[in-house]
Chains A and B, each alone.
Chain A
Amino acid sequence: MAEKTKKEDKPVADKITVGHVHMSGCTGCLVSLADNYGGLLTILDRYADLVYGLTLADVRHIPKMDVALVEGSVCIQDKLAVEEIKQTREKAAVVVAVGGCACYGNITRFGRGGQPNQPQHESYLPIGDLIKVDVYIPGCAPTPQLIRNVCVMAYLLLKGTKEQKDLATAFLTPLMQLADRGTTACGCDLIYDVINQGLCMGCGSCTASCPVRAITMEYGKPNVNREMCIKCGACYAQCPRSFFNVDVVNQYEGIMEAIDGALK
């Protein structure tokens, strides 16, 4: 007896389209996205179609998409790279700079050319210096959890009810403000924009967030070893005195439950 053919059940009606654009990055940001494990599969099942991503899929050219997750900075001596970041802006409704390199240049800030076989490849800029960027996800590596939260919120923003759109807007606002703030980052941000501004209260978040242990707390205040700092921007983004959007953070319990629920 012929087995009854089972049709695959795909509740895909209202997915958003997402692409991963790889500039001068290390793919660690994409690995961070993948490190959501089952959560990523759920996102791809229910909320998003991955329409582009050279590491994972055989789509050669940048297509139209709702959200572009861009990692890496742009080598301005590499014509193709410059072309691609411009195309990304044209093709994507929302451009997200994922990770320290796309947001702030990060380790590529130290690039200065002189290495074979392209010794002239010496100038790297964060993507925000070439195109308008909508949302920042800082960190080197960025955390799987923040990438996940932004993906869920981007879905709610584009496909949700009025209430969900409002929540998503409120959630994403500080990450949009970080994108507006600029394209440079350093442990010095803690000096300029927190301590010098009379805002540091010595909690230690910056120390915890630094990926290279460049920040120690000396008598309750951050001390930045600037020779160790790789300019990723995590410390300032993590500092509760960089942005502290009370309206959103006060709802932490509900929001975390909602995100967990969406990925169950």
Chain B
Amino acid sequence: MQPVIDIQDLSFRYREATTDALKHVSLTVNPGEWVAIIGRNGSGKSTLAGNIIGLLEPERGSVTSGHVTVSGLPLDDEHVWDIRARVGIVFQNPDNQFVGATVADDIAFGMENRAVPRAEMQQRVQAALSAVGMTDFAEREPARLSGGQKQRVAIAGIVAQAPDIIILDEATSMLDPAGRRAVIDLVTQLQQERHMTVLSITHDLDEAARADRIIMLAHGAVADVGTPAEIFTRGTELAANGLDVPFPEQLKVALRARGVSVPDDYRTEKGLVDYLWTLRSTM
């Protein structure tokens, strides 16, 4: 299968930095896959996202090498706008990425840029609004929306563009737990209905646990790749990379300290509950 994002040996350095923000990063993402990129602050996660859609161009950094191919298009001056048309990105701060004066205007912004005819725009704005459950908010101004609602609008703007790939660049980091879950559920639903590829850059474990594959970055290089189950069992390594250990893993460590034997492989909460009650069962 042709990977939808193919990064080969990518290095990048910001203009006034002394070390590379990305060092020989190679990774591929398959169509329809949900990949989470995790790592502590400054590990190069957002730089990677910026490189995928050409926001951080070689001219802006002093050292850039490697190849990025998105949807079969090489990332270069000629193709960068085509690539951006196929990739929708939701950034961290819901306030600072809201361009339009109202919800409907913001959703239409990307289509306006691509000269979509007005009649079609109206149709697609309506469809996108109902896809994210914000139909009643079309004429609202951003100041009157909550953070979670603004992120839904940002996602609706992407849905209206119908891209192949969604990048969530810490899109849920400024939301409360309920808003976070709602946004992740929404993206999950969109991914399944529209067969989109999702690349989520996150510190949030629920979001990472949702992924098919996790890529861990440390100091600008790929430190580890694996399924959530594989990655989450590496408790100390996670902690060393500035990440939380999921609750079942924390519980296992505490149980082991008290002499209860627990399995080494990763269990979800439900999996651990199942294990514990069979352990207690004397039948």
Q: Do A and B bind each other?
A: no
- B residues with a Cβ closer than 8 A to A are none
Which A residues lie at the B interface, using CB under 8 A? none
